[in-house]
Amino acid sequence: MLPDKEGSGVGGARMSPEGEDPSVSLFREYLRIRTVHPQPDYDAALRFLERTAEELALPMKKIEVCPGRVVSIMTWHGTNPNLKSVLLNSHTDVVPVFQEHWKYDAFTAFKDADGNIYGRGSQDMKCVTIQYIQAVRRLKAEGRQMLRTVHLVFVPDEEVGGHHGMETFVEHPEFRKLNIGFALDEGLANPSDAFTVFYGERNPWWITIHCPGSPGHGSRFVENTAAEKLRHVINSFLNFREKEKHRLNTSQCLTLGDVTTINMTMVKGGVAYNVIPAEMDVSFDLRIPPTVNLQEFEKLIQQWCKEAGEDVTYKFAQKHMDQNMTSTKESDPWWSAFSQACREMDMTLEKEIFPAATDSRFIRAVGIPAIGFSPMNQTPILLHDHNEYLNERVFLKGIDVYAKLIPALANVAASPDEA
């Protein structure tokens, strides 16, 4: 067990240190719940959310989208429930931890002398969950009422591709009952003073190229080997990777979300040192911007396979084709409300395509505008990294931000098609 200097308890951490802001204590409590893959403790998370819903006096519905995978929905009813609602989405799971690389135990939520709170999920995305909750708590305590209904939705398994979370939930009848008009989901930290806002995402493609060839003894120059074909495939993919990397590094206008990344992630084949294998496989992780013609890009992959040699084939483990992007025009009522609220708080926004993948892609795919936003500026990007942390000052400021954004969005006037 790694040291935690705050006292006794789980890993040496105290639940509610004296003098600590209650929101920070709640955040740290949530971080201690081990919703970490491959065996996330979702039951503990559900108990935490149920208790929170009771404190907020909000009804909470639980939808089991598949065995052991529950989507929880807290609902704050608006004064006009017939209008389209606002969705505040967050996921409850976190990625695995390599504890030997952490300064403190990743599930004690250790806070250092500078107020940095270390824990898996501190940036991705348990911070946002608690910021939503505490902003709603504040608004309700002030006696505020929203025109539109606000749903706080907590989904499992986002970190394994969403196959049992939002991806499944959007197909569930309960999702349609929410009558969603606009959604907020997670974003990224920003090391600068600005706040990053994501209006679209790159499409993740996970692909395996199968290269069959002539087997034989390792002492011979066998023709048409699987390895030769494999080399050609790898060169084609990685040459394209270098071109995109160069394009990003030589342009002041492009961000990571504007280019295609390709990374070789797995290679399989062979049985012995002296046996030339009859087949070899190589797998790649591709992230493709929504501005790219996906059909043409697949034709390019087909060409690379054909050039590599006879009978080279490919198979997708994941292939997302959604190219919906959320409007960031000031004429759009949702974006106008969001951006105006940020201007009133003197926040500088940087609009980008999200470089990885979040639940927003499933929401946009069914025609609902969604913004990816985590109010974490002046913060290094550490999601999925060792020693993930968030400073308590930044965390508390995020609650202030959502306490302004939620009313701005939930009080957007009825559109003509809603009247």
**Residue among 208, 194, 220 nearest 317 (CA):** 208
CA–CA gap between residue 86 and residue 83 (Å, rounded): 10
7: left (phi over 0), alpha (psi -120 to 50) or beta: left
> Does the CA dihedral 24-53-333-366 come out positive or negative?
positive
The single residue listed with the structure tokens 């709603």 is: 136
CA–CA gap between residue 151 and residue 76 (Å, rounded): 6
Residue from 105, 124, 157, 158 carrying the catalytic annotation: 158
The torsion angle over the Cα atoms of residues 262, 351, 361 and 202, rounded to 10 degrees, is: -10
- Does 400 participate in catalysis according to the annotation? no
Residue 128 has which token pair? 């946002």
User: In sequence order, what are the beta bridge partners of 353?
Assistant: 200
Residue from 93, 105, 159, 258 carrying the catalytic annotation: 93
In order, the DSSP letters of 293-320 are -HHHHHHHHHHHHHHH-TT-EEEEEEE-
The single residue listed with the structure tokens 């969950």 is: 129
CA–CA gap between residue 109 and residue 61 (Å, rounded): 28
Q: Is 150 helix (H, G, I), strand (E, B) or coil?
A: strand
Q: Which helix (H) or strand (E) holds 391?
A: strand 389-391
- Does 43 participate in catalysis according to the annotation? no
- Catalytic residue numbers read 93, 158
